[in-house]
Amino acid sequence: MPLRNASDVSGHEPGCDQEIRAGDLVTAGRSHYEVLAIHVGKAWLRDVETGADHMALLSRCRLAEATQGLAPASK
């Protein structure tokens, strides 16, 4: 499932001071992703439910709140 556009990213405020790093769990749209790598404002993400990889702008990602029951998809 492709990432949705910025208007679908609920709760993200531009300029917020969340620092996202590789290994973090983030949300973008309605899905949860594991951050695999970050480079020049972009993130390589893996959907924790499907295992599909995506690229996204960091500005469209936000740190996930406590997400019980979500574990990274098997590799």
Which pLDDT score is estimated for 17? 62
Tell me the torsion sign for CA atoms 42, 7, 34, 26. Answer: positive
Question: pLDDT by residue (tens digit) across 8-36?
Answer: 443 444 555 678 999 999 998 888 999 99
42: tokens are: 């972009």
Domain ranges in the chain are: 20-63
Q: Which residue has better confidence, 7 or 31?
A: 31
pLDDT of residue 29: 83
pLDDT tens for 28-68 read 888 899 999 999 999 999 999 999 999 999 999 999 875 54
